[in-house]
Structure 1
Amino acid sequence: MSSSCSFWLHILLVVGGFFFCTFEQLEGGNAAAASAATVTVGNISRVEDAVDFRIYYGQTFKVIKNLVDGKSYLLIQNNSRMATRTKYCTARIKSFVIPLSNYSLDADYNFPVSFFERAEWIKYLGVFANMETRANQVYDAIKENYMCLMKAAASKTTSFKPTVAWMKYDNGEWSFTKDTYKLKLVEDAGGENIDNSINKYTYNTSIPDDLDEFHAILFTVDVVIDETNTSDPVGYTLSTFLQNIDFDDQSCCTFLTNQSLWRYDKRIQNNTTLDWNDGAVSQPQLVLADLIEAFFPSGNYTTSYFRNLAKEGVVSITPQMCNRDTSIAMEPTIIACN
């Protein structure tokens, strides 16, 4: 668990997904296995939204299989006969007797699925510990809150949806995001992405025609999300952005005059590690609530992961800021929705 206490289990972000494996493949046609005492599996999890993993339940075992790398895990209940004699350990499949009380898994934040899908990976973790009921409760609470917030955003009474540009600067070039999950977040929060007809991917600030075209697009934008990578989030300020964007006349840009310029580096640890890559991916309802506030400012909501670059600096998080009992599983943060 990160010292930020921003999410309950880092491990739920493990890359990949799992598909069905047949009972015959697992039992190998062994007639003796068929006569083994039935062990109640108990609570189960069903994958609802995530597309990269699947779970299969037998009478005394569970299987998860990764749709990305093809690896499988056979999880055998510890009070079954199967647990004493069935072992799989190959390049493609590994077996464990469960429940496990202490384990770790590799994590990768870069697989291209939505925050909403990533949150369901808590069900994956629950399978290893026979805690599907708890995992289901957490995900159901997150999903219900997310859907409520999305509905509330859609009902905002404005004359038009704010146009949002999610973009970054790298080696003298600006580019607009093509990541589907980021574009979907904008839509779920009640915003509108820049026109799909913009098919030029990068704009070189040292080429006058590129810079003019880039500026022309920005003049139509209401909100900017700047995801430029930096080794110094503390030192990345409005001045940094303005220098990179190379504007002579800032008064013509709505997002600048309205101070609607955002970054997702509000919470950092050790001045470099973003909580965006930690807590945010496990609680998408907070990300959505942040964006709704960015698009439709109310003034009575404090964002968790996004900071207004024109108004805010970063927040350095430390273990001392964790004001809860870490021996108790963390509950998802539910945002008031009406």
Structure 2
Amino acid sequence: MMMMTTTQPLHSNSYSNPLLQFLGVAAWACLLFCTLQGQGQGVTAKSPSPAAPANTAISKVEDALNFHIYYGQSFKVIKNALDSMSYLLIQSNSRMAARTKYCTSRIKSFIIPLSNYSVATDSFPVSFFELLGLLGSFKGITTNGSIVSQCVLKLCEEGEIEMINRTEPQQFQQFAANFISSTDEAWACNFAAFLPSGEGAPLQRAEWIKYLGVFTNLEARANQVYTAIKENYMCLTRIAVSKATPVKPTVAWMEYNNGIWSFTKEAFKLKYVEDAGGENIDNSINKNTYNTSNSDDLDELHAILCTVDVVIDETQASDPINYTASTFIKNVAVEDNSCFAFLTNKSLWRYDKRLANTTALALDWSDGAISQPQLVLADLIEALFPTGNYTTTYLRNLSKEEGVVRINPEMCDRDSSTAMQPTIIPCE
């Protein structure tokens, strides 16, 4: 196995100017190219490989901040800023493929397009693979307890996807690539990190479909899907702006844990609210937690909630099916709810509407909601500006006693070997 010495790879956020970003990545890739040439392991400028890339389409990163793509003649480089790894992807029909292998602390090489792959994680957005039409190559998984896709569940049930014991690393050697959604552990040479949840905005997360497309020579499909999703998302944003009033609805994302309430302020959630025409709770609220057993904390929490129009309760529940508005009211320790507009107007929500019909009760919020953010945005617009004639996908209204949708394999009503089409919300 070859080791390689390089300069420190460029991070995607090293430059604020897009031109400098491109030049920085290009310079790094050129260094890689020249190093390969110097070691006799790559193609040379004077005697190029006769093999051209298997596909002519390329992907350009438009919105995501944490990965960049560079194209060579018979290879591609993905620079992942979240795991500080560079993935050298070599076309299978090139001379470079037979003689080049990298597995260092900063560079890993793969032969593409991938012949098969597995997913080694307890929580992974497999819907990206569905949108690319890659379920036919999906051959291994460490657990199906976190899967919410009905078609992936069906493939697992039929034995098309093998269950892998993550404590036996040799089982992963049979796959061309093993995708993970964590950077906490040291993984083998054929492991690649896929981390859309590391982005701070909904569209940035969705654009990671291009990341997977590069591994499989499916750039054209990845571009098509992302363009459709982005255009629909932006159209819905314009609709939301047109609905907005001078006083925008105020939204609070909040979570309860062991007697403590806190307002969650993850960037992508705040962005959803802004794009839906709402306003997040005042950033001047600098207190992070509120103890319901402390009367002063409780009074302050109630005072803040009296200024809120929409609440999204993110409390983790071992039994989401039986989590109701009564559960929320009990946890918030309120007796007189007359000042709470979000209760009076029946706007108390949770994002656990779609969950797996398994013992783990995994939520599609951690899967399909990442790859198709336009559906989440449409849900939020309905929550902020209710019409009563739109059926939400991920949000359910506790105030109206809306239940959950339990996903099972029998619900797969399409040919899983074909690409799933993104759901486009009517936008006029």
**Aligned counterpart for 1:55 among listed residues 62, 66, 69:** 69
Match of 1:322 in 2: 412
Higher RCO by CA contacts (8 Å cutoff, separation 6 or greater): 1
Q: Deviations over 1:62-91 (max 9, x none)?
A: 011221221111111122221222221223
Q: Deviations over 1:186-245 (max 9, x none)?
A: 010010111121111111111111111110111111100000111110121111101001
Q: What does 1:80-119 correspond to in 2, within 5 Å? A: 80-104=94-118, 105-108=179-182, 111=198, 113-119=200-206
1:36 paired with 2:48, answer: yes
Aligned partners of 1:136 and 1:294: how far apart in 2? Answer: 30
Match of 1:229 in 2: 316
Deviation at 1:135? 0.3
Q: Which amino acid aligns with 1:315?
A: V
- Please state whether the residue corresponding to 2:217 is helix, strand or coil: coil
Q: Which amino acid aligns with 1:186?
A: V
Aligned partners of 2:353 and 2:399: how far apart in 1? Answer: 13
**RMSD of the TM alignment (CA)?**
1.8
Match of 2:423 in 1: 333
TM-score (norm 2): 0.72
Q: What does 1:164-243 correspond to in 2, within 5 Å? A: 164-243=251-330
Aligned partners of 2:283 and 2:100: how far apart in 1? Answer: 54
Could you tell which deviates more after superposition, 114-123 or 278-287?
114-123
Match of 1:11 in 2: none
Match of 1:6 in 2: none
Aligned partners of 2:230 and 2:110: how far apart in 1? Answer: 30
Aligned partners of 1:174 and 1:328: how far apart in 2? Answer: 44
**Aligned counterpart for 2:370 among listed residues 267, 281, 288:** 281
Deviation at 1:159? 4.8
Contact 1:36 1:81 in 2 (8 A): no
Aligned partners of 1:194 and 1:218: how far apart in 2? Answer: 9
Contact 1:165 1:193 in 2 (8 A): yes
Structure 2 spans left out of the alignment, 5+ residues: 1-10, 14-23, 119-178, 183-194
Could you tell which deviates more after superposition, 36-45 or 314-323?
36-45
Aligned partners of 2:44 and 2:389: how far apart in 1? Answer: 61
Match of 1:161 in 2: 248
Runs of 4+ in 1 over 3 A off after TM superposition: 16-19, 29-32
Aligned partners of 1:164 and 1:49: how far apart in 2? Answer: 25
Aligned partners of 2:227 and 2:267: how far apart in 1? Answer: 23
Aligned partners of 1:133 and 1:251: how far apart in 2? Answer: 54
- State the aligned residue count: 323
- Please state whether the residue corresponding to 1:234 is helix, strand or coil: helix
Could you tell which deviates more after superposition, 160-169 or 137-146?
160-169
- Please state whether the residue corresponding to 2:83 is helix, strand or coil: coil
Aligned partners of 1:183 and 1:77: how far apart in 2? Answer: 41
Contact 1:43 1:133 in 2 (8 A): yes
**Aligned counterpart for 2:81 among listed residues 61, 67, 71:** 67
Match of 2:396 in 1: 307
Structure 1 spans left out of the alignment, 5+ residues: 1-15
Aligned partners of 1:65 and 1:298: how far apart in 2? Answer: 44
- Please state whether the residue corresponding to 1:251 is helix, strand or coil: coil
Q: Which amino acid aligns with 1:87?
A: K
Contact 2:58 2:220 in 1 (8 A): yes
Aligned partners of 1:111 and 1:157: how far apart in 2? Answer: 30
Q: Which amino acid aligns with 1:33?
A: T
TM-score (norm 1): 0.91
- Please state whether the residue corresponding to 2:180 is helix, strand or coil: coil
Q: What does 1:136-155 correspond to in 2, within 5 Å? A: 136-155=223-242
Distance 1:39 1:262, change over 3 A: same
